[in-house]
Chain A
Amino acid sequence: TQLLEQSPQFLSIQEGENLTVYCNSLSVFSSLQWYRQEPGEGPVLLVTVVTGGEVKKLKRLTFQFGDARKDSSLHITAAQPGDTGLYLCARPGDSGYALNFGKGTSLLVTP
């Protein structure tokens, strides 16, 4: 069972465009994390959102946690080639120790 659905699966845009990617679940989660993974490297934590309705900004990246804590979005303003990578969302699993990851959105930003 895929607990987290990410969309779109792939996204190819030109430098300067804006974009939004989504992470959805059928169940409420206590917190959600976003990671970015560049080719050939491990995922890197970008942000954790905890409170329903919460908005966090990281330079040109804006993260939002849905009011019902079942969904989250990542908006990138004026995308740059350096934003290219795989964006993963993750939530705490039922075990209490591990994370469940979505399959990710693969973003390509071309000059």
Chain B
Amino acid sequence: GAGVSQSPSNKVTEKGKDVELRCDPISGHTALYWYRQRLGQGLEFLIYFQGNSAPDKSGLPSDRFSAERTGESVSTLTIQRTQQEDSAVYLCASSSLDGTEAFFGQGTRLTVV
């Protein structure tokens, strides 16, 4: 595809359920980021993948959060036992190895009720 694609665009889930968010990066981009953005707030770094290197998980807020990426393709962010404070827009971005610009998807708006 032409850009970073995220799905679903909106997700409403009940507290305690698990959710999976998907990110399709731009083809050939080795770097992939997940960020969280709560209503009216800035970007909160979650996790960073770069090629086959070990991911930088330093931003994951708890062990309920995990993410996977197979090679340089699709990434999945999983939130287990969702809580209301998990409600936010989850943004994915990708960039090339020597690129400065990170291209963002439209985000997944997660609402935990």
Check if A and B associate.
no
Chain A residues close to B by CB (< 8 Å): none
